[in-house]
Amino acid sequence: MSDAIVSIRNVTKAFPGGVTAVDNVSLDIAQNEFFALLGPSGCGKTTLRRMISGLETPTSGQIVIGGEDMAFTPPNKRPTNMVFQSYAVFPHMTVEQNVGYGLKVTGVATDEIRRRVGEALDMVKLTALAARKPDQMSGGQRQRVALARALVKRPKVLLLDEPLSALDAKLRDDMRMELTRLQETVGITFIIVTHDQDEALSMASRIAVMDKGAVQQVATPAELYEHPRSRFVADFIGKVNLIDARVHRQIGRKIDCELKGVGRMELASDGLVGGQVAVAVRPEKLKIAIAEPASAIRVQGRVRDVAYYGDTSHVVIEAADGLDLSVNVQNDTRLGGSGVERGQTVWVHWAPEDSIVLTE
């Protein structure tokens, strides 16, 4: 990508003691992008974040920010700013002083500091609280201070560490919309670092899924969800039924395979197929029928569990060969509910094109 604002090239970070936290990662993050680094704890996303902001140096590789290799540039000389998970708002300063701090230490004139702090506070709607100390504020307000404090520096890249994790459910929704709005207004590249797939899926325009120090897949949220490239990605993003399958032969762009507990069928697959693959199907793509359906893929089973979530019910169906299938049923009528009960024998069916063949 030619307009990349952050370009991570073959970056490896090995800590003394033999832990390789980040293993030969290459990533391009474009200007104005809302990018997410997503992965389970210990996947290396935090180390990568610290290397982008300069709090850690890579063992090898380049970190190009705005066209300049900054792998060994100290954090105070980088055009990146960070919103910490704990917010890290300075407790002995007022909101105004917190927001102005980054300008003051770099020698910006007092008048300009006042003007820019005013603008930043306006942007995050904290003007009324400018004289407060952090201990008189709620978590959500403190996060806004941290946000204003970073944005006032006009960085090229804003890093956000688990921005929604410490907020309660209602505030989460507000903040998510707020962040999306801010990103569109200020036109700065946002990089969020998170282990929470909802956070990444709902905000980011592109997501890099990381595991064991390596990037597993970089794609848009919809692509990650509907076209995961590996079992890890399919399993980590959303819920999924992973069914083991044995491949008999390849017919053009299709494979002839035997799904454990389901039966033999032909499925679309591009990759070179080995003997064993996994077939992934999302729970909401599965349908339940009482009478035998006409669908090409169908399997009979017994309802083992029904969990009611209000808008949906999560049904677990026990099929042959120890295969458990999770089905999400929309409770789309008030009186119908999920329409099945525990112990009932039902049919589960789905369209062949909703199956994802995973080779790795």
Partner 1 sequence: MAARLKPGQGPLDYGSRLWLRLLFAAIFFVLYAPIITLVAFSFNTDKRGVVWRGFTLDNYARAWNNASLIEALTNSLVIAVIATVFATVLGALTALLMWRFRFPLKGAYEGFMALPIVIPEICMGVALLLFFVNSGMMEFFVHMPWPLNLGNIIFAHVTFCFPFVAVVVRSRLVGFNRQLEEASKDLGASEWQTFWSIIVPFMKPGLIAGALLAFTLSLDDFVITFFTSGPETVTFPVKVYSLVRRGVSPEINAASTVLIVITVVATVLAMKLQAPPRADKG
Residue 18: burial class (beta carbons within 10 Å; 0-12, 13-18, 19+): exposed
CB of 103 vs partner 1, minimal distance in Å: 8
Q: Is 91 a binder of partner 1 (CB under 8 A)?
A: yes
Measured from the CB of residue 327, what is the shortest distance to partner 1 in angstroms? 44
What is the spatial order of strands in the sheet that 60-65 belongs to? Answer: 19-30, 4-15, 60-65, 68-69
> Which tokens belong to 136?
């008189």
For partner 1, which is the closer residue by CB, 160 or 247? Answer: 160
Q: Does 254 bind partner 1 (CB under 8 A)?
A: no
The reply on whether position 101 binds partner 1 by CB under 8 A is yes
Q: Which of 39, 44, 58, 134 binds partner 1 (CB under 8 A)?
A: 134
Q: Can you tell me which of 7, 46, 47, 80 binds partner 1, judged by CB under 8 A? A: 80
Applying CB under 8 A, does 102 fall inside the site for partner 1?
yes
For 48, 120, 199, 324, the CA distances from 314, given in Å and listed in that order, are: 36, 45, 22, 13
Binding flag, residue 105, partner 1 (CB under 8 A): yes
State in angstroms the smallest separation of the CB of 52 from partner 1: 11
Does position 334 interact with partner 1 (CB under 8 A)? The reply is no
Tell me the angle at which helices 139-151 and 110-123 cross, rounded to the nearest 10 degrees.
Answer: 130
* Residue 92 interacts with partner 1 (CB under 8 A): yes or no: yes
Q: Which region, judged by CB under 8 A, interacts with partner 1, from 37-45, 128-136, 242-250, 269-277?
A: 128-136
> Which residues, 4 to 33, sit near partner 1 by CB under 8 A?
none
- Cα distances from 23 to residues 60, 186, 195, 211, in angstroms, run 10, 33, 18, 10
Q: Based on CB atoms, which residue is closest to partner 1, 90 or 309?
A: 90
Pairing of strands 276-281, 356-358: antiparallel
Instruction: Read off φ and ψ for residue 87, nearest 5 degrees.
Output: 70, -35
d(CA 151, CA 99): 9
Q: What is the DSSP letter of 92?
A: T
CB of 63 to partner 1, least distance (A): 15
Kindly list the residues in this chain that would bind partner 1 in the complex (CB under 8 A). 53-55, 74-77, 80-82, 84-92, 101-102, 105-106, 133-135, 146, 149-150, 153
